[in-house]
Amino acid sequence: MRPEAFQRPIVLLGDELIAGLDVVRYLPRWPMINKGLSGIGLAELRQRLFQDVLRLFPDLVLLCAGAHDLRRGRPPEAMLGDLENIIERLLGASRPIGLWLCTIPPLPIAWASAQQVADFNDRLLRLAIVYRLRVLDLSPLPSWSSEEDEAEASSGEEFYRAWAALIESHLLAL
């Protein structure tokens, strides 16, 4: 699909992973609005769904969340309950909204273990199958690091460039 085919915006929704994606720099041709918020968890995203997404009547929502919840040590069942609630609210909107989910990429060990990330991603993939959603797999991308992870800060640029290329390839394939 070409960028001009979108009648409404593409909304990026999630935590610091998505907040750091500069759509003007990496995806300038696409009508995107980045509603990512650093430090936000799935429960807060669920509460902000109307003001951040539904009132915009987007054509597509790209949801990448859960990393901050893992960092907080939130129980997986609670995380997945919030994620499923978000999915159902988006899919049940008065105007049809496309929804894509993103897996969580490798995180700094101070945030979550590789096993915690893998477990969350497995559960996210199961939800995607149930709801028949497209998934962008971020696990093969370069490791993500937040600004506070100074030792790994150089990888942020490489991560976001690779992620933007993945998003664009999926959009063009529509």
Question: Residue 149: is its pLDDT beyond 70?
Answer: no
Rounded CA-CA distance 86/47 in Å is: 9
Quickly state the pLDDT bin for 146 (edges 50, 70, 90): low
Question: Residue 148: is its pLDDT beyond 70?
Answer: no
CATH architecture of 3-172: 3-Layer(aba) Sandwich (3.40)
pLDDT at residue 93, rounded to an integer: 86
What pTM, to 2 d.p., does this model score?
A: 0.89
Helix (H) or strand (E) holding 14: strand 10-14
Q: With 0-12 CB in 10 A as exposed, 13-18 as middle and 19+ as buried, what is 111? A: buried
> How many angstroms separate the first and last alpha carbons of the chain?
5
pLDDT at residue 132, rounded to an integer: 96
pLDDT at residue 154, rounded to an integer: 43
pLDDT at residue 111, rounded to an integer: 82
Rounded CA-CA distance 173/23 in Å is: 19
Q: pLDDT for 86-127, tens place per residue? A: 999 999 988 889 999 999 988 877 788 888 989 999 999 999
Question: Residue 145: is its pLDDT beyond 70?
Answer: no
One-letter-per-residue 3-state SS of 108-158: CCCCCCHHHHHHHHHHHHHHHHHHCCEEECCCCCCCCCCCCCHHHCCHHHH
Task: Report which of residues 126 and 144 the model is more confident about.
Answer: 126
